Amino acid sequence: MGESVLRAGFSEEAPGAEESLSGILRIVEGRPDNLIPLLQRVQRALGYLPEWALLEVSDHLGLPSAKVFGVATFYSQFRLQPIGRHIIRVCRGTACHVRGSNRILKEIQNHLRVLPGETTEDRLFTLETVACFGSCALAPVMVVDDTVHGRMNPSKGLAMLHSLGEEATESSVIEICDSLLTAPGGGPWTMHP
């Protein structure tokens, strides 16, 4: 079962996802009581828990797939969908709401073309809402990649997204160039018949 499951779900995964999971399964003992720590390691390596990985975990631990899927869907720490490079969280608490967090949220939704809980197609941003961060004195609050930003407004929120997008674009170009330069065959200038 393992090989066909891995191959079937691999098309959208990051390069090396299959090897990452294989490495994790080699070092984590196949006991049922290792389920949650194993899911945590897999998610840390892959960024989320794809179906094919959950099936491999099920096989490795000798647990029914329904049990593994049940645990993965019960705990909010686990994600079954890919997340963006940047997590944008907008507070919906009373103080933030009164001070305009809804306008910030709507502006970000319109700009990214996603709803809360969704990730942009390029996997750059995931948008989430939170009931309260407990930073009411800074309302309205937006948290970007675990950094709290207070006294936000729609234009500040969009400016932050633009700077994160530009930063990601620059790093993506550098990553692509590096991968081409280190590719087997001598790099992008090599002529291929």
- pLDDT digit string (tens) for 148-193? 999 999 999 999 999 998 776 655 555 555 555 555 554 444 444 4
Distance (Å, whole) CA 151 – CA 174: 34
pLDDT exceeds 70 at position 13: no
User: Strands 86-91, 125-130: parallel, antiparallel or unpaired by DSSP?
Assistant: parallel
pLDDT tens track for 20-59 = 898 899 999 999 999 999 999 999 999 899 999 999 999 9
Only one residue has tokens 């194993």, namely 38
AA letter at 180: L
Residues 6+ apart with CB under 8 A from 65: 54, 55, 58
Determine the Cα–Cα distance for residues 102 and 90; give it in Å rounded to an integer.
Answer: 9
SS3 assignment, position 149: strand
- CATH 1.10.10 range(s) for the chain read 2-74
Neighbours of 191 (CB within 10 A): 6
In which residue ranges of the chain is CATH 3.40.30.10 found?
86-181
CATH number of 86-181: 3.40.30.10
What is the CATH code for 2-74? 1.10.10
